[in-house]
Amino acid sequence: MGAPGTSRSRTARARAVARFFVRQGLGSLLVRISLGLSAVIVLAAMSVAALVSSSHVPGELPTVALVPGVAARAIAWGGGILVAFALAQRAFHRDISDGVVSLLRARGLDPMYLWGRVGAAMALVGAPVVGGTLLVSVTAVLAATRTGDAWDAVRGGAAALVYSALFTAVLVPLSLAALGGRTRGGGYFFLLLFLVIPEMVSPLTRAFVPEEMTSIPHALQGLSHAMTVGHLDLRRTTGSVFFLTAVALTTLLYVRREAQRVRSEAR
């Protein structure tokens, strides 16, 4: 009888901590600038989706149906990744020096710390990335109804939304793992090692592993493409989802380790 109530109580406390970190994140100038950049990209993409002609590229979706995918990548790797980096930069050190960890411990919310920290980052990154992609996708579908291409626009929008959601789920913990407990130089070297270099050497590694499992950008793009071809490419979809899930879970475990390490060193 007590388990459901306990679960709801934990969820409510985690949400309260996440709301605190959301407010804290919105206080960052770089976060606000990055959100503003994302908004500009979203508005530009919505304008393109509303005005673009419905001409077809041979073998591809109608032009208007391609807009959500292009917009998703622009928002994600433009403003979205900047928001993730700004929120993650020495986050665990700041939470200790600013007294946030002590405050949460005093209020009995210490177990909710990581849930709140990661959840807030997911919300602040997902709002422009997933929310912005949704707005562009809806605009594209409405524009496509005038030319009979609505179904293709729905497919393109769905693939773009999956891309955006998985980008958020992977890049948020990766950013916290890289930047949350490290110096700026060490953090960006970590990102270079796990985000940039695998993409650079993918022409070599794809000889040994499937292309969609060579790097995070390739996995995201592979999944999006697999959903927009004439039929669902199950092999490519499964490979991309497996790779991205493994990356997300591994980095979440590393985030927990980094937070514990920073706390131990601060004592």
- What are residue 62's DSSP bridge partners? 56
Handedness of CA 178, 18, 158, 69 (dihedral sign): negative
Q: Is the pLDDT of residue 117 over 90?
A: yes
Residue 82 pLDDT? 96
What tokens appear for 130 in the block?
């997933």
Query: 200: exposed, middle or buried (C-beta count within 10 Å: 0-12, 13-18, 19+)?
Result: exposed
What torsion, rounded to 10 degrees, do the Cα atoms 252, 258, 259, 261 define?
Answer: 150
Give 123-160 pLDDT, tens digit per residue.
999 999 999 999 999 999 998 888 778 888 898 899 99
Residue 145 pLDDT? 87
Q: Which band of pLDDT confidence, cut at 50, 70 and 90, is reported for residue 2?
A: very low
Return d(Cα 155, Cα 162) in angstroms, integer.
Answer: 11
Whether residue 128 contacts residue 83, with contact meaning beta carbons closer than 8 Å, is answered with: yes
Task: For the chain, give the mean pLDDT.
Answer: 87
What tokens appear for 31 in the block?
């976060």
Residue 90 pLDDT? 92
Query: 77: exposed, middle or buried (C-beta count within 10 Å: 0-12, 13-18, 19+)?
Result: middle
Boundaries of every domain in the chain:
2-266
Give 207-260 pLDDT, tens digit per residue.
888 888 899 998 998 888 777 765 667 788 888 899 999 999 999 999 999 998
- The residue that leads in pLDDT, 57 or 141, is 141
Residues with Cβ within 8 Å of 214's Cβ and at least 6 positions away in sequence, in order, are 198, 199, 201, 202, 205, 206
Residue 230 pLDDT? 58
Give 176-210 pLDDT, tens digit per residue.
999 999 888 889 999 998 888 998 998 888 888 88
Whether residue 97 contacts residue 263, with contact meaning beta carbons closer than 8 Å, is answered with: no
Residue 26 pLDDT? 94
Residue 150 pLDDT? 84
Average pLDDT over residues 83-88: 96
Residue 65 pLDDT? 82
- The residue that leads in pLDDT, 202 or 4, is 202
Residue 11 pLDDT? 78
Burial 99-110 (b: 16+ CB within 10 A, else e): ebbeebeeeebe
Q: Is the pLDDT of residue 169 over 90?
A: yes
Q: Is the pLDDT of residue 81 over 80?
A: yes
Residue 1 pLDDT? 40
Give 18-52 pLDDT, tens digit per residue.
899 999 999 999 999 999 999 999 999 999 988 87
Residue 224 pLDDT? 81
